[in-house]
Structure 1
Amino acid sequence: MKLSLWTWLACHVASTFALSPRHPARNLKTRATAASNHTAYYFDQAIDHFPQSSRYARHSNGKFKQRYFVETSYYKAGGPVFLYLAGEGPIDGDTHLDRTDTTARPPIQIHPTDELFFTTEQVIADFDVFARKVTLPGLTDINAPSMPWILYGGSYPGALSAFTKKTAIHGQLEYPQWYDPISSSTEDCVASINDIVDNMDYLVKSNNTAAIQQLKELFGLGALKDIQINWDPTRGHIDFFDFCRNVTDGNAPANNTEADSALAANTKGQVWKNLGNYAAYIKRVVLPLCPSGDYNSGECFGTQDTAHWANTTSNYVRSYLYTTCTEFGAYQSAQPYGKKSLISRVIDAEYTQEWCNKAFPAGQYNSIPATPDLDIWNAYGDFNFTAENLLFVDGTADPWKDLCYHSDLAPQRYWSDAYPQHLINGAGHVWDLRTLVGM
């Protein structure tokens, strides 16, 4: 499907993390009114675009209401339509000029049987039908293919934009490279965390349950049942540099430094440098994020809590998880033994797959695969294909870079007028989709 003269892509999903201190004086804002201040319109979208495909055997001739917003303040007749894809998240907080915003399909309902239709190819077909058939208020002769439509988005929506051209975004089961940007920063801090994680994993491999319990108590998490808690400084708190300043504090109180030796007897006499500082930070900053004190709950640190994953409330986290579990993968696992890791190696593909199995038990017509079907995702192009009039923008500090066009695993990329691309040095996730006030 070719909807546009240009498809603009900034790759690929989840939280933004900056590898430089924040500058409060530079207030980043969007340049226009938020989408929530615009009228919401609804397009009757088909649930099933592939009635002949055995993949969707059950089939449906029903419709769902696809929400969209329209901004025409700067539009001139005859100009192209910019279609901004909100992807898995709600569209309300995003603002872009001269465009139509649309939200990708939600899970049609909440049961795995109904999520049969929540696939990448159905979402791409949504965009095609939308561009050809939607009515935009006050405008005529606006539909594709007679009028150019330019799709753009960042992160997962960026991938969807690219897939309309069948081009390069890569899926793989485990993705330890997620942590590479952090591993390249603040050398003393990262080295301390790497060594602490190595010692943690030594306790796990040796099945030293007493020492593991002592370690949990040192962090104030003695009651936590699951040792596979995945809190790390890149995900659980916005200020990584504050975290590192605390971990490497050379003037820490004596009770912190004394804790560095608390488990040395279990690691052949090796002192756990900065363990006390690390534990003190977790107790001071992270534990208060769980005001109930029920650390085993899904709302806090119980990452394998069955009740949490079985909650079928329809939201963007669940939508994205379903795509992860069925097609995309990229489980943010630890580095294997032999490489330094910022998180424990108990965080692996099997650990993340448990989320999928608990969240999406088999339904009457649908069940998730044992592991994500990466062939479906990579069939759109993987690393080896591109397309004309498709702009790729990535950042060197984006944790998702190595699944994207500028991946270190991909061939060398070169700019040309027909195949434009840009790698922004030092940029994080989808930085190019935000502007400064007054620009």
Structure 2
Amino acid sequence: MPRSFSVVVICFQLIVLVQGAKRFHLGRSKGGNLGEPAGISGVKLPPAQWFIQKLDHSRPTDTRTWKQRYFVNDSFYDFNNPGPIFLMIGGEGPASAKWMVQGAWIEYAKQFNALCIQLEHRYYGESHPTMDLSTKNLLYLSSHQALADLANFISAMNDKYKFNREVKWIAFGGSYPGSLAAWLRLKYPHLVHAAISSSGPLLAKVNFMEYFQVVVNSLREKTGDEDCVTRVKLAHQQIETFLKTDPAIIEKEFKVCKPFSKASENDMKNFYSSIADDFADLVQYNEDNRISDKRRKTTTINSVCSMLTQHPEKPEYQKLAEFNSIVLEESDETCLDYDYSKLINGLRNVSWSSEQAEGGRQWMYQTCTEFGFYQTSSGEVEVFGNQFPLDFFIQQCQDVFGTKFNAEFVSAGAEWTNRAYGGLDIAAGRVAYVHGSVDPWHALGMTTTQDNDAPAIFIEGTAHCANMYPPSANDSTKLVAARVEIQSYIGSWLNLP
């Protein structure tokens, strides 16, 4: 393929939180929101490599360094005739070598003869900048430092591979890393030529009440009527009634780990949040092509709504409990653990060997200091009740990191993020913003084109980061068309035929 310059593309990996009480949700799934691509078997994966990275980019005289993990796939690349370079950067979870051989970005790499590189996000996976995860050491965990990591890495790779000035980098990312992709283009336009930002929440918002509003709208969109929403609403109303009159019924049906008679107020908020999160995850990953959660292959919005709307002889709470049992089984949980103290104690563990070092503690710190993103019940009170309002999440910030992490502190962090990057008024060209209508995160993203040089691709009927996964025979025509459109933008921004 003829070209007059080389290109580097950066693809970001996304990721939502589930922990100790495994169902706890802070906008992150265990292993990351993006997960891993499906369809990989018998393929040799590239080995990990290590980059010496600066600890603190805000102080030029700080000489402290650490080792950051990255992967390289050069099987499509001709170093004698340098072409594009795709760099996939991990998000709030471990970087996976599986992304080096599978996914939409790999199909683009084949098309443009690209060198593929993936860089892991600081503090996640095996990229450990500090001795532990103490609050003092988490000072160096931020989107600002992550973007500077990218810039430093890009410059170093330019030197290592002796790329000339015509080498252009394009950033790809999904969810939080989708935001990073756009912000990288904004902050380092001399290093990054363009970006594909998938499912990126550009607007930091503490009370993300719109999340569950989209969840409810997605139930309507995928089923074509109001019946499923009505059943979910009735189920939650019945649960609230039984918890006041005969809680043993709900204890049995929902297989809780401890009786409600021993539950604190925060325990109960965590319980309600957990059963609502069943639907949050169901919608966010509906009918995607990822390998990390087997239940999503068969458990979809339509299948769960059918479960709720059929069998009129069963009360709604019982049918919702059946869905909860499916979630427990596929999550390898024997009971629904809603214990708030256990949750907090797990998140307080600062060791790299702790369960929460997988990413739960780190992402919680970022939500408390930069983004918020708290998926509260405030926006859909009629359906889910208002049992997990904003103060429930602010309390978690304080209980884990200290009393200064109050509502004012968290709000100030989100305001700083929007000032630094522009929120939905971001002023960056050559960025394509990709969102799915079913994905709740699109509520904080760019879904309409404001500038012809920064197009929005809104895919009806698709969920979180759907365009990033490997192609599937089950993909909708609109998803297929979106991938083609993204490839077209890459080609046009590279001035390629």
Amino acid of the residue matched to residue 415 of structure 2?
Answer: D
CA distance in 2, matches of 1:288, 1:435: 27
Q: Is the 8 A contact 2:348 2:361 kept in 1?
A: no
Q: Is the 8 A contact 2:203 2:418 kept in 1?
A: yes
Question: Is residue 2:344 matched to residue 1:323?
Answer: no
TM-score (norm 2): 0.65
CA distance in 1, matches of 2:245, 2:423: 46
CA-CA distance at 1:105 after TM superposition: 0.7
Q: Is the 8 A contact 1:89 1:316 kept in 2?
A: yes
2:52 to 44, 49, 62: 44
The gaps in structure 1 that reach 5 residues or longer are: 16-27, 53-58, 261-273, 407-411
CA distance in 1, matches of 2:229, 2:12: 28
CA distance in 1, matches of 2:386, 2:341: 16
CA distance in 1, matches of 2:335, 2:318: 23
**Equivalent in the alignment of 1:190:** 229
- SS of the residue aligned with 2:68? strand
Amino acid of the residue matched to residue 49 of structure 1?
Answer: H
CA distance in 2, matches of 1:31, 1:218: 38
Q: Is the 8 A contact 2:13 2:88 kept in 1?
A: no
Q: Where do residues 275-290 of structure 1 align in structure 2 (5 Å cutoff)? A: 275-282=317-324, 284-286=325-327, 288=329
Pick 1 or 2: higher relative contact order, CA cutoff 8 A, min separation 6: 1
**Equivalent in the alignment of 1:231:** 275
**Equivalent in the alignment of 1:120:** 143
The gaps in structure 2 that reach 5 residues or longer are: 1-5, 18-36, 101-105, 188-200, 283-294, 474-479, 481-497
Q: Where do residues 306-321 of structure 1 align in structure 2 (5 Å cutoff)? A: 306-312=344-350, 313=354, 314-321=357-364
Q: Where do residues 229-268 of structure 1 align in structure 2 (5 Å cutoff)? A: 229=271, 230-232=274-276, 233-234=278-279, 235=281, 238=296, 239=299, 240-250=301-311, 252=313, 257=314, 260=315
Q: Is the 8 A contact 1:334 1:344 kept in 2?
A: yes
CA distance in 2, matches of 1:377, 1:331: 15
**Equivalent in the alignment of 1:104:** 121
CA distance in 2, matches of 1:177, 1:317: 23
Amino acid of the residue matched to residue 454 of structure 2?
Answer: Y
Question: Is residue 2:153 matched to residue 1:151?
Answer: no
Amino acid of the residue matched to residue 141 of structure 1?
Answer: K
CA distance in 2, matches of 1:381, 1:330: 17
2:391 to 323, 335, 350: 350
Distance 1:426 1:433, change over 3 A: same
CA distance in 2, matches of 1:5, 1:170: 29
Q: Is the 8 A contact 2:12 2:171 kept in 1?
A: no
TM-score (norm 1): 0.73
- Residues 169-205 of structure 1: CA deviation (Å, up to 9, x unaligned): 101111122223431224322212123334656x69x
Q: Is the 8 A contact 1:10 1:432 kept in 2?
A: no
Distance 1:276 1:37, change over 3 A: closer
Amino acid of the residue matched to residue 73 of structure 1?
Answer: S
Between 1:216-225 and 1:79-88, the stretch displaced more is 216-225
Amino acid of the residue matched to residue 126 of structure 1?
Answer: D
Amino acid of the residue matched to residue 320 of structure 1?
Answer: W
**Equivalent in the alignment of 1:65:** 67
Q: Is the 8 A contact 2:9 2:88 kept in 1?
A: no
Distance 1:87 1:286, change over 3 A: closer
- Residues 231-282 of structure 1: CA deviation (Å, up to 9, x unaligned): 2332377424443333223254xxxx4xx5xxxxxxxxxxxxx233334554
Q: Is the 8 A contact 2:10 2:169 kept in 1?
A: no
- SS of the residue aligned with 1:94? helix
**Equivalent in the alignment of 2:417:** 377
Distance 1:32 1:333, change over 3 A: same
Q: Is the 8 A contact 2:11 2:87 kept in 1?
A: no
1:403 to 422, 429, 444: 444
Q: Is the 8 A contact 1:309 1:355 kept in 2?
A: no
Amino acid of the residue matched to residue 440 of structure 2?
Answer: P
CA distance in 2, matches of 1:245, 1:13: 29
**Equivalent in the alignment of 2:471:** 436
CA-CA distance at 1:155 after TM superposition: 1.2
Q: Is the 8 A contact 1:6 1:390 kept in 2?
A: no
CA distance in 2, matches of 1:321, 1:329: 9
- Residues 141-184 of structure 1: CA deviation (Å, up to 9, x unaligned): 227x6521222111111111111233881011111222234312
Amino acid of the residue matched to residue 231 of structure 1?
Answer: I
CA distance in 2, matches of 1:323, 1:7: 25
2:94 to 90, 97, 122: 90
**Equivalent in the alignment of 2:185:** 165
CA-CA distance at 1:368 after TM superposition: 10
Distance 1:218 1:87, change over 3 A: closer
CA distance in 2, matches of 1:277, 1:322: 36
**Equivalent in the alignment of 1:266:** none
CA distance in 2, matches of 1:152, 1:210: 52
CA distance in 1, matches of 2:84, 2:234: 54
CA distance in 2, matches of 1:211, 1:131: 61
- SS of the residue aligned with 1:405? coil
Amino acid of the residue matched to residue 244 of structure 1?
Answer: C
% same residue: 21
Question: Is residue 2:402 matched to residue 1:394?
Answer: no
